Amino acid sequence: MVRETREPDPVWLAHMRRWHRLGISQRAVIEFNGKPVRSVREGWSTVVELAGLATENKQEKVIRHTMRHTAITWYLDQGVDIEKVSLYCGVSVATIRKTYRHVMPGTFDDLLDAAHQIGR
């Protein structure tokens, strides 16, 4: 079997090097109290609780996807290059264009300009 090799994501590599240098992560990519974290799902409710975001209302519940969605929206709204957002957030450019294009600055400028000219 031939395994595909590829270059590590430079953003993650920089984080991992910093974590190692600062002693945050010595044995695994994600650690807590010096032990590898096997599942981020187990700690999610604690993180939400400590952030003051816990709720019983199903409509207002914060899930991990909420954070990813918010981050992508904020990055695009600030004009960050779609390719960088794709690499950093682990979402394809096609998905970002399909789902988030409406928040990208200037997306509808030409349409709005045309609409203002209609009927004049």
**Assessment of whether the complete model's pTM goes beyond 0.85:** no
Tell me what percent of the chain is helix, strand and coil, each rounded to the nearest 5. 55, 5, 40
Higher-pLDDT residue of 86, 7: 86
Tokens encoding 46:
């604690």
Q: 89-106, pLDDT tens digit by residue?
A: 888 999 998 888 777 777
Q: Which candidate, 98, 100, 41, places its Cα nearest to that of 69?
A: 100
The answer to whether 28 and 15 have CB atoms below 8 angstroms apart is no
Determine the Cα–Cα distance for residues 1 and 4; give it in Å rounded to an integer: 10
Q: For residue 62, give every residue at least 6 positions away whose Cβ sits within 8 Å of its Cβ, in sequence order, or none.
A: 48, 51, 53, 55
Tokens encoding 60:
């207002």
Tokens encoding 47:
């993180």
Q: Which amino acid is at 5?
A: T
Residue boundaries of the structural domains of the chain: 60-120
Q: In the prediction, which pLDDT does 3 show?
A: 54
